[in-house]
Amino acid sequence: MAEAQLPKRVDAVKLVDNNQQLNADIDSKNLTRLLDAVVHCNEPVHCEIQFERDQDKNRMLTGSCNTNVVMICQRCLGEVSLPVTSRFQLGLVFDDDQARQLPKRLEPVELDENGQLDLWVVMEDEVLLALPAFPMHTHGECQLEQTEPEPDYTDSDEKRPNPFDVLAKLKQK
């Protein structure tokens, strides 16, 4: 069964008032900033979103989004496929004054003057924030051949001068 496409723009105020829940996908080909940040992302971004009010009557957008991306492993420089999941609690505001009044647990997202919200931009932001800073294969899966470092061999027969011998001679005087 094909998943529904998440609408690009929504009336967030109306959705909050109706306590609306959305369960849909965004075609990753439409998320250009995400595609610029990864090698490729062929899977859709699956979103589960709830528009609601918290106990303080703040408008909220809560939920999760997930997808799989291919990035460059920072250990072996090969491609690594990684699952990306983000859970979020966002406060929907109209201006900076409302954003400052939000509790610290809510990240503000500004609506336009009509209460409209670009859901694709918000979900793309959440996926980008969830990308690993240093993508790597799990331990033992890298294509890089791990070689044991060569031990530093010192010839114990070779007598090296002690730099403190000069101080020892001065002390004896």
Predicted confidence (pLDDT) at residue 144 exceeds the cutoff of 70: no
Q: What is the pLDDT of residue 27?
A: 93
pLDDT band at 132 (very low <50, low <70, confident <90, very high): very high
Segment 50-58 mean pLDDT: 93
Question: How far is 108 from 80, CA to CA, in rounded Å?
Answer: 33
SS3 98: helix
- In the predicted structure, residue 142 carries a pLDDT above the cut 90: no
- The pLDDT tens digits of the residues spanning 2-22 come to 468 899 999 999 999 999 999
Would you say residue 96 has pLDDT above 60?
Answer: yes
Comparing C-alpha atoms, which of 108, 84, 78, 104 is closest to residue 94?
108
Provide the pLDDT confidence category of residue 164 given band limits of 50, 70 and 90: confident
**How far is CA 35 from each of CA 96, 121, 129, rounded to the nearest angstrom?**
30, 13, 14
Q: What percent of the chain has pLDDT over 70?
A: 89
The ranges assigned to domains in the chain are 9-134
- pLDDT number for residue 2: 47
